[in-house]
Amino acid sequence: MSSVERQVQRNLDYDSRELKERVVEINRVAKVVKGGRRFSFTALVVIGDEVDRVGVGYGKAREVPLAISKAVDDAKKNLFQVPKKGTTITHEVLGRSDAARVLLRPASEGTGVIAGGGVRAVLELAGIRDILAKSLGNPNPVNLLKATVNGLKSLRRPEDGARGRGKAVHEGLFPRKDKQEAAETPPETPSGEAEDHADA
């Protein structure tokens, strides 16, 4: 199968997956005009297929349902794929957006999603089952979600990093293990030296 055929097959698989949506926040905002205040609503929505695609959208309208549908349309435009290793992410990353910062750490299987609010919604709809997340800056929900998306978008797959450094994937994944094994194995003595000691 050629790369083009694989891409077409992948796109068909993506289209067949059902996107689930989760409303993170609905806020009432007011615009002061000559006749008084004009109220409208904003909606912050996360959509994802709970496998590896997720997107965040923001919508504003005079009615709540219309604001949500606008946010969902915006989120569909911003869908992206999240690199994963099993049920967690590939490496630790710090996502930033304005004053908000979100630290994402891989976790062992069975840990669950240790995150709060909108960050949890993004991670669960991205199909991540084990992760540790911590907000380190501004708790503004919009910026928190943008920081989480920024962190997930900056994740790299092991093969990408290995290719950039001209190494095999296993060399990048377990460098400490290899060094530890090398330190534990005693250096081999040449056969000639061993025979000299035996004669003495």
Over the stretch 168-192, which tens digit does the pLDDT of each residue have?
A: 555 555 444 444 555 555 555 555 5
Closest CA to 149 of 186, 113, 123, 169: 123
Taking CA 135 as the corner, what is the angle to CA 115 and CA 116, rounded to the nearest 5 degrees?
25
Structure tokens at 154: 């900056």
Q: Which amino acid is at 49?
A: D
Query: Residue 144 in contact with residue 128, Cβ under 8 Å?
Result: no
pLDDT band, residue 1 (cuts 50/70/90): low
CA 48, 86, 84, 91 dihedral sign is positive
Query: Residue 63 in contact with residue 84, Cβ under 8 Å?
Result: no
In this prediction, residue 163 carries a pLDDT of 61
The more confidently predicted of residues 16 and 73 is 73
Calpha distance 62→73 (Å, rounded): 17
Calpha distance 117→37 (Å, rounded): 30
pLDDT band, residue 63 (cuts 50/70/90): very high
Structure tokens at 125: 């709809």
- Give tens-digit pLDDT for 87-117: 899 889 999 998 999 999 999 888 899 998 8
Question: How far, in Å, are 3, 62, 66, 96 from residue 43 at the CA level?
Answer: 39, 11, 9, 21
Question: How far, in Å, are 4, 9, 42, 160 from residue 1 at the CA level?
Answer: 8, 10, 46, 22
Question: How far, in Å, are 136, 179, 192 from residue 166 at the CA level?
Answer: 35, 19, 38
Taking CA 90 as the corner, what is the angle to CA 102 and CA 85, rounded to the nearest 5 degrees?
130
Query: Residue 109 in contact with residue 130, Cβ under 8 Å?
Result: yes
Percentages helix, strand, coil for the chain (3-state, rounded to 5) are 40, 30, 30
For the whole prediction, is pTM greater than 0.75?
no
